[in-house]
Amino acid sequence: MKVTGGWLNCTLFQLCCLSVGISAWPDFGLGGLARKALERRATNSTQPAPIVAGASQFWDGNDGPWSSFQLQVGTHAQNIRVFPATSLPYVDVVPTAGCVTGGPSDCADFRGNLFDSNQSLTWVPNSVYNLGIEDNLGLDSNANFGFDTVTLGWQGSGGPTIQHAIVTESAAYIYMLGLLGLNPQPTNFTTFNDPQPSFLQQLNDSNQIPTMGYGYTAGAQYRNNHAVFGSLVFGGYDASRFNTSSELTFPMSEDVQRDLVVAIQSISSGNTELLSQGQGIYAFIDSSVSQLYLPISVCQQFEQVYGIQWNSSLQAYTINSTQHQSNIQKNPTVSFTIGSTTTSNDSISISFPYAAFDKNLSYPFVPSGGISYFPLNRSLADGDITLGRAFLQESYLIADYDNNTLTVAPCIWPNSFQQDIKVIGAGSTPASSSSSKLSVGAIVGIAIGAVALIAGLLLALFLLRRRRRSTHKAQELDGKDTARLPSDAAGHEYKGLPSSPAGAPTALRGIPPPNGPHELLDSGELHEMAAPHKVDYSELSAMNEHHPAMWKPPLYPDHSASEVEGSPAPVYEMPGSEAYSELETPTGTGTWNTSTMGGAGGGASRGRPSPAQSPNSPNVSSERTQTRSRFSWQKGGSGRVGSSTSGSNR
């Protein structure tokens, strides 16, 4: 059985297919959407585990050494070593132009390997822009922007891959190695209408990490016999690397360019205060740079404790060999008290041995060899205060961008580390999805309920339409109806007109049998053709008492009744018929009216007979224009567009 009309043009079998969600109609409406949603949900029903980015096992940099990490960039993949950069949203690499004549002989390895975009099949160039980091410190530089494929880890390690990631080529020696951006902010190249996602955002969008965040510590070459490399976890953190009982969590800064801001409440070395309590300052944590950028007054206190000297030509603090040996023997410790605000009671203390500041400057700062220096620099404004990679040697950082919170904790140094990877905000690894998202069972129930509701609505609409069609069909008398009329006082039974079934009596009062002429008696009574199931009727003009106008019953396929107005005498009805014979003019009452009587509504009209025909000629009926109630479906529409032609003529 079919339900016809517009969008209901479907079979009941198909409705059943829709309600149970089988493949007969897999993509119909909500059923198809629910099926696809379930497939996606089933694929992502298990929360992905955090990604541990493996350290390269190298100590790199011309102002370190620092623990680097491994990337593969381009197709065919090229191995690149980089430093994590908390303020950068994309990947920066050193191009082939990064090594020039006069540089170190091992320049390519010295800079973490060079990237040749001409050798990559997936490199898409963009344009040249500023790198966009630490402009306030004068450390920004131009870079060639493009897009390429980036994979974490060494070749063959099976690390996650991001297609069409933003990759920049920066040849300047400001940043000796490339950088792996950890900031989630998007990049707009020309307008704000087409932001390009960050590397962290792409990992999250591709469902490769459980949360938008990371845990990072820079590692320390001086700890545990030079073996503690850095640790970087996307979407989680390594709880084995810090003291979980001393962590401090607080909201991130509202400035998206400097979001990882902490309050330094005080700095001390033994009994000497380098930054007094009550004179706290706010500092931005940025691993893109290596040094600590502190106010000049604080730097001068460091000068007194460590015997360091400001070198204006190098723009760095250096130390002579004698003072250097003295500091190694004394091993003065510097403690930073960190809080959410400069006066809050919630604070932690992070201590740094002298070895954390015992670094070397090399090419291009000095032509060859190296020079001992202290990773401290002068900040010229409050907005420039920055805690670089040196700070993250002894501290662990957790950035939770889903909740916009920052966690800082002091590192611990056991003899051996057993990784304890946890999901940020969940406390377990890997964690099954137990958030507020609906379970698979709930989604199945909702989908089945929705499909069943739609099927029920369609069935109800089908039944309603079927009922209306049945009612309408009953109203259309096709000439074979046997509806009987009431008898008159004399016992005459009112039957159908000549089109009634054979054998039906036709002796109507005032109306002759079928084979004789049909006429209205000049009786003062009104005779009306009955239509027990009539939809509407049309009226003829009232007859004049002395010159009664003769009338002919129109051909009404819709079986509308025609009524002649007159006296309040009883009205009798007889069933309509699809064919009528002409009614003869009563004797001595006048002639046919030659005026045209107005047509019924919908364009139907009635006219006088042809002069060549008698009023009772059977062909006269062919001149009648039919009036019909018309209902039609509009293809492709929803619902019925109906028009009914009926009316009364006076």
- DSSP string covering 91-124: EEE-BGGG--TTS-TTHHHHTT--B-GGG-TT-E
Q: Which domain holds residue 257?
A: 51-423
Give the separation between CA 149 and CA 167, rounded to whole angstroms.
9
Higher pLDDT, 247 or 499: 247
Predicted pLDDT at 421: 97
Give the separation between CA 223 and CA 111, rounded to whole angstroms.
24
Whether residue 406 is predicted with pLDDT greater than 70 in this model: the reply is yes
Predicted pLDDT at 1: 45
Whether residue 561 is predicted with pLDDT greater than 60 in this model: the reply is no
Spell out the long-range contacts of 614-622 with Cβ–Cβ below 8 A and sequence spacing 24 or more.
Answer: 614/582, 615/550, 615/552, 615/582, 615/583, 615/584, 615/585, 616/517, 616/518, 616/581, 616/582, 616/583, 616/584, 617/582, 618/581, 618/582, 620/552, 620/582, 621/555, 621/579, 621/580, 621/581, 621/582
Give the separation between CA 61 and CA 290, rounded to whole angstroms.
9
Looking at residues 278-282, what average pLDDT do you find? 94
Looking at residues 474-486, what average pLDDT do you find? 48
pLDDT above 90 coverage of the chain, percent: 50
Q: Per mean pLDDT, which range of 269-278, 461-470, 570-579, 618-627 is the poorest?
A: 618-627
* Position 158 in a domain: yes
Give the separation between CA 542 and CA 565, rounded to whole angstroms.
5
Amino acid at 253: S
Predicted pLDDT at 459: 86
Counting the structural domains of the chain, the total is 2
Predicted pLDDT at 426: 75
Amino acid at 459: L
Whether residue 628 is predicted with pLDDT greater than 60 in this model: the reply is no
Looking at residues 159-177, what average pLDDT do you find? 95
Q: What pLDDT digit, counting tens, does each position of 323-367 carry?
A: 999 999 999 999 999 999 999 999 999 999 999 999 999 999 988
Model confidence at 453, pLDDT cuts 50, 70, 90, reads confident
Model confidence at 142, pLDDT cuts 50, 70, 90, reads very high
Give the separation between CA 262 and CA 406, rounded to whole angstroms.
9
Say yes or no: 7 and 145 in one domain: no
Q: Is the preceding omega at residue 50 within 30 degrees of 0, hence cis?
A: no
CATH number at residue 237: 2.40.70.10
Query: What are the structure tokens assigned to 376, written together?
Result: 């401290």
Predicted pLDDT at 611: 41
Q: Per mean pLDDT, which range of 74-78, 273-277, 295-299, 444-448 is the poorest?
A: 444-448
Looking at residues 517-546, what average pLDDT do you find? 45
Query: What are the structure tokens assigned to 464, written together?
Result: 């309603």
* Position 107 in a domain: yes
Say yes or no: 290 and 340 in one domain: yes
Say yes or no: 37 and 142 in one domain: no
Whether residue 399 is predicted with pLDDT greater than 50 in this model: the reply is yes
Whether residue 646 is predicted with pLDDT greater than 60 in this model: the reply is no
Looking at residues 54-65, what average pLDDT do you find? 94
* Position 33 in a domain: yes
* Position 588 in a domain: no
Give the separation between CA 601 and CA 538, rounded to whole angstroms.
9
Predicted pLDDT at 267: 97
- The residues near 569 (Cβ < 8 Å, ≥ 6 apart) are 524, 525, 526
Q: Is the preceding omega at residue 364 within 30 degrees of 0, hence cis?
A: yes
Nearest to 55 by CA among 205, 198, 227: 227
Whether residue 529 is predicted with pLDDT greater than 60 in this model: the reply is no
Torsional class of 115: left (φ above 0), alpha (ψ -120 to 50), beta (otherwise): beta
Whether residue 36 is predicted with pLDDT greater than 60 in this model: the reply is no
Model confidence at 531, pLDDT cuts 50, 70, 90, reads very low
Looking at residues 563-571, what average pLDDT do you find? 48
Whether residue 246 is predicted with pLDDT greater than 80 in this model: the reply is yes
* Position 611 in a domain: no
Say yes or no: 39 and 58 in one domain: no
Say yes or no: 314 and 337 in one domain: yes
Whether residue 41 is predicted with pLDDT greater than 70 in this model: the reply is no
Predicted pLDDT at 517: 46
Give the separation between CA 518 and CA 496, rounded to whole angstroms.
13
Predicted pLDDT at 24: 40
Whether residue 60 is predicted with pLDDT greater than 60 in this model: the reply is yes
Model confidence at 444, pLDDT cuts 50, 70, 90, reads low
Query: What are the structure tokens assigned to 502, written together?
Result: 């054979």
Q: Per mean pLDDT, which range of 92-106, 205-219, 299-313, 491-505 is the poorest?
A: 491-505
Q: Which helix (H) or strand (E) holds 441?
A: helix 440-475
Predicted pLDDT at 75: 94
Q: What's the 3-state SS for 153-179?
A: CCCCCCCCEEEEEEEEECCCCCCCCEE
Q: Per mean pLDDT, which range of 102-111, 193-202, 417-426, 469-478 is the poorest?
A: 469-478
Model confidence at 450, pLDDT cuts 50, 70, 90, reads confident
The pTM for the full model equals 0.62
Say yes or no: 122 and 39 in one domain: no
Last residue of a domain, one of 402, 423, 444: 423
Looking at residues 162-186, what average pLDDT do you find? 96
Q: Which residue has the tokens 């030509």?
A: 313
Model confidence at 456, pLDDT cuts 50, 70, 90, reads confident
* Position 333 in a domain: yes
Say yes or no: 37 and 91 in one domain: no
Nearest to 58 by CA among 72, 43, 70: 70
Higher pLDDT, 458 or 317: 317
Predicted pLDDT at 586: 45
Query: What are the structure tokens assigned to 373, written together?
Result: 């220096």
Looking at residues 174-187, what average pLDDT do you find? 95
Q: Per mean pLDDT, which range of 195-209, 317-331, 379-393, 583-597 is the poorest?
A: 583-597
Give the separation between CA 129 and CA 143, rounded to whole angstroms.
6
Looking at residues 74-78, what average pLDDT do you find? 94
Give the separation between CA 14 and CA 2, rounded to whole angstroms.
10
* Position 522 in a domain: no
Whether residue 587 is predicted with pLDDT greater than 50 in this model: the reply is no
Question: For the chain, how far is it from start to end, CA to CA, in angstroms?
Answer: 46
Higher pLDDT, 435 or 227: 227
* Position 549 in a domain: no
Say yes or no: 88 and 20 in one domain: no
Say yes or no: 327 and 464 in one domain: no
Model confidence at 571, pLDDT cuts 50, 70, 90, reads low
Is-contact 61 108, C-beta < 8 A?
no
Whether residue 474 is predicted with pLDDT greater than 80 in this model: the reply is no
Give one DSSP letter per residue of 170-203, joined into a string: --STTSSSEEEE-----B-SS-TTSPBPPHHHHH
Give the separation between CA 248 and CA 344, rounded to whole angstroms.
12
Say yes or no: 256 and 387 in one domain: yes
Give the separation between CA 526 and CA 315, rounded to whole angstroms.
121
Is-contact 94 108, C-beta < 8 A?
no
Predicted pLDDT at 5: 44
Give the separation between CA 29 and CA 248, rounded to whole angstroms.
50
Say yes or no: 348 and 326 in one domain: yes
Amino acid at 396: Y
Q: Per mean pLDDT, which range of 271-280, 288-297, 320-329, 507-516 is the poorest?
A: 507-516
Whether residue 17 is predicted with pLDDT greater than 70 in this model: the reply is no
Model confidence at 570, pLDDT cuts 50, 70, 90, reads low
| Chain length of the chain | 650
Whether residue 293 is predicted with pLDDT greater than 60 in this model: the reply is yes
Give the separation between CA 55 and CA 101, rounded to whole angstroms.
30
Predicted pLDDT at 234: 98
Whether residue 135 is predicted with pLDDT greater than 50 in this model: the reply is yes
Say yes or no: 355 and 466 in one domain: no
Q: Which residue has the tokens 């079934």?
A: 501
